[in-house]
Amino acid sequence: MGNVTKPKLVIAGPGAGKTHGMVDEIIHALKSLERHRYMIVVTYTNSATKNIKKRLGKRIAIPPNLFIGTIHSFLNRFIVIPYSSLHNEDVNGEKLFIQCGTDDVLKRMFDNNGETPDYKAKNRIKSKLTKSLHKSGYITYDQTLNLGEKAILNKRIKEMLANRIQYLYVDEFQDTGNKMFSIIESLRKEKRTVIYCVGDPEQYIQSFDSSVKNFQNIPILKASRMNQYETRLNKTNRRSVNTIVTFLNNFSKRVYEDNTFEQQCHNEILGTPVKFISATQNITVMLPEFFARCENENISHKERGIIAKKNDVVNKAVAALNGNVLAPDKSAKVSAVSEIKDTLLSSLGTNQNAFCEEQGLTPFDLRIMAVQIIRAIRAEVITNENTFAAFVKDEFDLTIENNIPFKLDNLRQIIVSNTDAEAIMVSNIHRFKGLELDAILAVAKNEAELNLWLETNTATRDAHSDRGTSDYPRLGYVAFSRARKVLCIACLEPISDNTKEKLNNLGVELDSPTLKFPSLI
Over residues 439-476, the pLDDT tens digits come to: 999 999 999 999 999 999 999 998 888 777 888 999 99
Q: 289 versus 409: which is more confidently predicted?
A: 289
15 belongs to an annotated ligand binding site: yes
Mean per-residue pLDDT, 20-47: 92
Q: How far apart are CA 292 and CA 286, in angstroms?
A: 10
CATH code for the part of the protein at 8-81+147-234: 3.40.50.300
Answer yes or no: is pLDDT of 516 > 60.
no
Mean per-residue pLDDT, 362-387: 87
48 belongs to an annotated ligand binding site: no
Q: What is the pLDDT of residue 227?
A: 94
Mean per-residue pLDDT, 270-282: 90
Q: How far apart are CA 69 and CA 47, in angstroms?
A: 10
271 belongs to an annotated ligand binding site: no
Q: How far apart are CA 187 and CA 78, in angstroms?
A: 13
Domain range summary for the chain, segments of one domain joined by +: 8-81+147-234, 96-136, 275-324+422-506, 336-417
Q: What is the pLDDT of residue 404?
A: 62
Kindly state the DSSP code that residue 63 receives in the 8-state scheme: P
Residue 226: Cβ-neighbour burial (10 angstroms; 0-12, 13-18, 19+): middle
Kindly state the DSSP code that residue 292 receives in the 8-state scheme: H
Name the phi and psi angles at 47, rounded to 5.
-65, -40
323 belongs to an annotated ligand binding site: no
pLDDT one-digit tens code per residue, 351-361? 888 888 899 99
Q: Which of 146-160, 320-334, 373-387 has the lowest mean pLDDT?
A: 320-334
Cβ 429 vs Cβ 474: under 8 Å: no
Answer yes or no: is pLDDT of 307 > 80.
yes
Q: How far apart are CA 352 and CA 95, in angstroms?
A: 10
Q: What is the pLDDT of residue 406?
A: 64
Residue type, 251: F
Same-fold call for 8-81+147-234 versus 275-324+422-506:
yes
Q: What is the pLDDT of residue 92?
A: 73
Q: Which of 101-110, 187-196, 228-237, 457-466 has the lowest mean pLDDT?
A: 101-110
Q: Give per-residue burial for 407-422: e unless 16+ CB within 10 Å, then b.
A: ebeebbbbbeeeeeee
114 belongs to an annotated ligand binding site: no
16 belongs to an annotated ligand binding site: yes
The three-class DSSP label of residue 236 is strand
Q: Which of 122-126, 404-408, 487-491 has the lowest mean pLDDT?
A: 404-408
Q: How far apart are CA 192 and CA 8, in angstroms?
A: 15
H/E stretch holding 455 reads none
Mean per-residue pLDDT, 381-399: 89
12 belongs to an annotated ligand binding site: yes
Mean per-residue pLDDT, 122-130: 84
Domain covering 275-324+422-506: architecture: 3-Layer(aba) Sandwich (3.40)
Mean per-residue pLDDT, 346-351: 81
421 belongs to an annotated ligand binding site: no
Q: What is the pLDDT of residue 407?
A: 64
